[in-house]
């Protein structure tokens, strides 16, 4: 209940809503000179933007109320490429207005176009009409307020889409492959789930509680990627997730909870070598699991909000930091298990049995570290550096890494008779060293 309340409060605090590529934002008494309205988006040859602004007011120091009368030629919207965004910051530092930087920006319209009576304006823009030799590109949408010592109020609705033939596609170039990617992953995870379930059933008495919990985890992972596939497919056609995002949030929360529960339980040997969880491990579970679930769902939900909200970047950084910290905390049970096994190998007479368990957990530790590093660091770098038509490769890499981690964990901890799992076998060199150690007085 407490975790759900925290998540609800967090989501309410985020502000302006985005439905797919339809951005709905309310800006209130905002004195920022530059506001990112829409993050870099890949447009094809038929790329278009539709912008509606209403309820505009300009606030100046000493004025008790806002004004709707111009001139407002220093306030408006423009687009630019991601490569030029760094220059915008330099121009602002030199008190240059981005609306005047014709070399790096394309001004869409200024607020002089607003109807003084209604304070509203609607404009549609075709990128092919504004750019010479245009065949596609990646652009960000910005709002600029170059009026000194002023703040602004307005409501904005933005639609970003591509026209392909006689069809409107609301997915940007680079993300139009995502429905296929996620449905393919659904097939692969479902196949993995069927194979794993068969192994658990066949294992009979050698199957432990953790093996059945892993079946549930794979099931929720399959449902997660299936809901993603339908969500992006629906967005592509209608511009809105039509409820599939809700299913995605639910399955993601369940999958996040189960994933870290399974990793921690495997790392502590629960149900596999010992039928209990220590108090220290219980406390870690109580802290890491709720935080990880909240962070995962909130990060996804945050992506559906416009960065025009003043707190958007702050929440993004906080949530990603929480996610990384939780991933690092998951490593502690593995370290504890390795330390306990190392100490046991030095004190008891069952050196061989203890050493093979130690080898198991060392390799599992390396697997978890590699998985976290790849999905949190490498995938982020791919998203940041890949050309926009190939951004789908980052999502594919993340899902394939998850599939590989599931398969490797399943092979390592599969239900088999004691001593039959090759993962527990010592190398010849280790066996010789242990034999010598036993023969020494």
Residues 221 and 402 sit within 8 Å (Cβ to Cβ): yes
Inform me whether the pLDDT recorded for 399 exceeds 70.
Answer: yes
Domains of the chain: 21-169 (2.60.120), 178-422 (1.20.1070)
Q: For residues 290 and 299, give the distance between their C-alpha atoms in angstroms, rounded to a whole number.
A: 14
Determine the average pLDDT of the residues in 426-430. 46
Q: What is the pLDDT of residues 256-310, one digit of tens each?
A: 888 888 887 777 666 555 555 567 766 777 777 777 777 777 777 776 666 777 6
Bigger pLDDT: 199 or 436? 199
Q: What is the mean pLDDT of the chain?
A: 79
Task: Give the three-state DSSP class for 272.
Answer: coil
pLDDT the model gives residue 232: 93
DSSP 386: S
The secondary structure of 14-71 as a DSSP string is: T-SEEETTEEEEEEEEE--SEEEEEEEEEE-TTEEEEEEEEEEEEE-TT-SS-B--S-
Q: What is the pLDDT of residues 200-211, one digit of tens each?
A: 999 887 788 888
Determine the average pLDDT of the residues in 131-143. 90
Q: CA gyration radius for the chain?
A: 27
Q: For residues 73 and 410, give the distance between their C-alpha atoms in angstroms, rounded to a whole number.
A: 63
Instruction: Give the helix/strand (H/E) hosting 109.
Output: strand 106-110
The secondary structure of 115-157 as a DSSP string is: -TTT--EEEEEEHHHHSTT---EEEEEEEEE-STT-EEEEEEE
Q: What whole-number percentage of the chain has pLDDT above 70?
A: 76
244-268 vs 209-238: helix crossing angle, rounded to 10: 150
CA-wise closest residue to 19 among 234, 168, 167: 234
pLDDT the model gives residue 208: 80
Q: Nearest-5° angle of CA 314, CA 375, CA 138?
A: 65
pTM comes to: 0.79
For the chain, report the end-to-end CA distance as a whole number of angstroms. Answer: 59
Q: For residues 110 and 89, give the distance between their C-alpha atoms in angstroms, rounded to a whole number.
A: 20
Inform me whether the pLDDT recorded for 77 exceeds 70.
Answer: yes
Q: For residues 394 and 392, give the distance between their C-alpha atoms in angstroms, rounded to a whole number.
A: 5
pLDDT the model gives residue 389: 93
Q: For residues 102 and 340, give the distance between their C-alpha atoms in angstroms, rounded to a whole number.
A: 65
Helices (H) and strands (E) in the chain, counts: 13, 10
Inform me whether the pLDDT recorded for 393 exceeds 50.
Answer: yes
DSSP 83: G
């Amino acid at each position: 209940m407490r975790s759900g309340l925290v998540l609800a409060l967090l989501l309410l605090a985020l502000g302006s809503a985005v439905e797919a590529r339809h951005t709905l934002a309310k800006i209130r008494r905002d004195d920022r000179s530059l506001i990112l309205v829409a993050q870099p988006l890949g447009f094809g040859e038929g790329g278009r933007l539709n912008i509606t602004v209403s309820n505009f007011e300009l606030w100046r120091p000493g004025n008790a109320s806002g004004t709707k009368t111009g001139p407002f030629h220093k306030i408006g919207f423009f687009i630019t490429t991601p490569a030029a965004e760094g220059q915008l910051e330099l121009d602002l530092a030199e008190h240059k207005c981005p609306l005047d930087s014709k070399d790096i920006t394309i001004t869409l319209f200024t607020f002089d176009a607003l109807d003084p009576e209604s304070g509203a304006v609607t404009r549609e823009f075709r990128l092919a009409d504004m750019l010479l030799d245009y065949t596609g590109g990646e652009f960000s949408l910005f709002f600029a307020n170059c009026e000194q010592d002023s703040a602004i109020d307005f409501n904005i609705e933005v639609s970003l889409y591509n026209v392909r033939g006689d069809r409107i596609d609301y997915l940007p170039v680079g993300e139009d492959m995502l429905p296929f990617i996620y449905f393919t992953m659904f097939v692969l995870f479902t196949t993995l789930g069927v194979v794993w379930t068969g192994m658990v059933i066949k294992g009979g008495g050698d199957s432990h509680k953790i093996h059945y919990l892993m079946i549930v985890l794979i099931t929720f992972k399959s449902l997660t990627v299936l809901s993603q596939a339908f969500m992006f497919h629906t967005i592509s056609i209608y511009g809105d997730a039509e409820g599939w995002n809700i299913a995605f949030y639910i399955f993601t929360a369940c999958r996040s909870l189960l994933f870290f529960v399974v990793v921690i339980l495997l790392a502590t040997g629960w149900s596999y070598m010992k039928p209990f969880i220590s108090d220290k491990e219980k406390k870690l579970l109580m802290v890491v699991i709720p935080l990880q679930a909240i962070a995962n769902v909130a990060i996804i939900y945050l992506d559906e909000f416009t960065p025009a909200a003043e707190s958007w970047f702050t929440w993004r950084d906080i949530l990603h930091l929480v996610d990384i910290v939780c991933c690092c905390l998951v490593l502690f049970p593995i370290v504890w298990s390795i330390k306990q096994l190392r100490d046991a190998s030095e004190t008891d007479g069952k050196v061989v049995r203890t050493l093979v368990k130690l080898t198991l957990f060392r390799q599992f530790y390396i697997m978890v570290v590699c998985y976290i590093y790849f999905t949190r660091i490498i995938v982020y770098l791919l998203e940041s550096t890949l050309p926009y038509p190939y951004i789908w490769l980052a999502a594919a890499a993340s899902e394939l890494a998850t599939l590989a981690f599931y398969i490797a964990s399943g092979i390592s901890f599969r239900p088999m008779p004691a001593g039959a799992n090759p993962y527990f076998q010592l190398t010849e060199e280790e066996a010789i060293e242990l034999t010598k150690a036993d023969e020494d007085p």
